[in-house]
């Protein structure tokens, strides 16, 4: 690849890309078509293919086309980031989509990578879609945290705190309205409109789409507001709100987020640990079933800017709204602890879940097992659970390894 090739692909990025029909014609030809086409056509095809592959995340009808092309298009890119190899279009190995800041791509390869397929708003122009190899994942790279601190630099981040209601004195659950200033709310909704969402790796048990981002300013302002919302006895040794936020979007047709426990954030060096989950609903909605269930308490309707805070030791589940998109933020309250210990048993369960997460991308039979392992590890943080047998999981994992080996050989 040369600088001229980079200029060429940049030119195609600003011109009309290859229509889906032409991509389908290429896909219908023999596997030798790639070797017989000009460099110009290869570059245009792969750039168009990258956008189609991103679009297929939202439009399942395009997935067969992506699957066919993935088998035929050969890898060209040698870019990498923190030891993870990157491709600007999917290949047989680079099958998992991620988004990352454009500036983190090596300059030579940067023009090749396409922005989000809908490319809406100023945020989207700063990010590109990258395709990575799931076999290179480890527990620090399953998720990518998008840096959004600059996005909130010139916003007030002003909240209107009000005391939250506790519906059951025996349940550490609180909810109420927590209004945010208009400018900052628009910035939050702009992140939603940028279409940087990904489907969770364990999507069989965690429906909808989500993106993870970091913003210190929003967290600091929310920390101050929360101290005015909760009873003082609940805030003993409270330190701050986690600046890492998850933005979740559920369509009415999405599968639920199955019943589960939340794993606590922990920092042994600072002796910090999370104890409460915070959900902030940015949209209103209702459902005949519970939109959110925490233990035996059900929320069947939620207004926009409803804040829900609950103990992470409580089992809970979330379902889509039947009449609207469900859009909400998730973060957590972090507290100071006397001691944050290492539990070898929990580490073993969590490590096994991480290992099977990659395998579950190749074999959906593992998805349920992955959910069980993650949830067992999370529940064991809060409850005294005995380890159970892993024979079935190990057998399924061995089957997955064999399938992946046969797939690579073909």
Q: pLDDT tens digits for 114-141?
A: 888 665 667 888 898 898 887 786 655 5
* Helix 63-72, helix 39-55: angle, nearest 10: 140
Q: Given a cut of 60, is residue 406 above it in pLDDT?
A: no
Q: If we measure between CA atoms, which residue out of 290, 280, 281, 259 comes closest to residue 325?
A: 281
Q: Given a cut of 70, is residue 303 above it in pLDDT?
A: yes
Mean model confidence pLDDT for the chain: 79
Distance, in Å, from the CA atom of 378 to the CA atom of 350, rounded to the nearest integer, reads 9
Distance, in Å, from the CA atom of 370 to the CA atom of 356, rounded to the nearest integer, reads 6
Its pTM stands at: 0.78
Distance, in Å, from the CA atom of 96 to the CA atom of 136, rounded to the nearest integer, reads 11
pLDDT-derived band at 67, boundaries 50, 70, 90 = confident
pLDDT-derived band at 3, boundaries 50, 70, 90 = very low
Output the pLDDT for position 104. 93
What share of the chain has pLDDT > 90, as a percent? 39
Output the pLDDT for position 402. 53
| Structural domains in the chain plus CATH codes | 3-136 (no CATH), 159-336 (2.60.120.620), 344-409 (no CATH)
Q: Given a cut of 60, is residue 405 above it in pLDDT?
A: no
């Amino acid at each position: 690849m040369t600088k001229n090739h980079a200029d060429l692909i940049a030119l195609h990025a600003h011109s009309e890309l290859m229509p889906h029909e032409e991509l389908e014609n290429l896909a219908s030809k023999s596997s030798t078509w790639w070797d017989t086409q000009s460099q110009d056509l290869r570059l245009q095809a792969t750039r168009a293919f990258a956008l189609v592959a991103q679009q297929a995340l939202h439009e399942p009808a395009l997935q067969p086309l992506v699957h066919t092309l993935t088998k035929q298009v050969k890898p060209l890119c040698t870019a990498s980031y923190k030891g993870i190899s990157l491709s600007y279009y999917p290949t047989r190995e680079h099958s998992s989509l991620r988004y990352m800041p454009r500036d983190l791509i090596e300059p030579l390869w940067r023009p090749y990578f396409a922005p989000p397929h809908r490319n809406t708003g100023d945020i989207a122009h700063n990010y590109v879609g990258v395709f990575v190899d799931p076999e290179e994942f480890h527990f620090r790279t399953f998720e990518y945290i998008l840096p959004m601190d600059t996005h909130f630099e010139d916003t007030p981040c002003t909240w209107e705190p009000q005391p939250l209601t506790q519906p059951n004195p025996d349940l550490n659950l609180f909810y109420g309205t927590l209004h945010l200033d208009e400018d900052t709310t628009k910035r939050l909704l702009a992140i939603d409109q940028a279409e940087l969402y990904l489907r969770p790796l364990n999507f069989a048990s965690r429906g909808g789409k989500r993106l993870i981002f970091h913003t210190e300013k929003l967290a600091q302002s929310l920390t101050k507001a929360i101290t005015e919302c909760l009873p003082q006895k609940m805030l003993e040794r409270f330190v701050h709100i986690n600046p890492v936020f998850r933005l979740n979007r559920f369509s009415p047709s999405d599968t639920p987020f199955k019943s589960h426990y939340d794993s606590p954030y922990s920092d042994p060096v600072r002796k910090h640990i999370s104890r409460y989950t915070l959900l902030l609903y940015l949209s209103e909605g209702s459902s005949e079933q519970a939109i959110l269930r925490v233990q035996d308490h059900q929320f069947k309707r939620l207004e926009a800017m409803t804040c829900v805070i609950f103990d992470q030791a409580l089992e809970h589940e979330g379902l889509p709204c039947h009449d609207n998109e469900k859009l909400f933020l998730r973060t957590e309250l972090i507290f100071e602890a006397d001691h944050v210990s290492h539990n070898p048993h929990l580490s073993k369960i969590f490590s096994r879940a991480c290992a099977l997460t990659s395998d579950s991308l190749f074999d959906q039979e593992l998805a349920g097992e992955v959910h069980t392992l993650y949830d067992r590890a999370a529940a064991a943080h809060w409850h005294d659970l005995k380890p159970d047998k892993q024979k079935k999981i190990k057998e399924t994992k061995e089957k997955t390894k064999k399938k992946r080996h046969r797939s690579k050989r073909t």
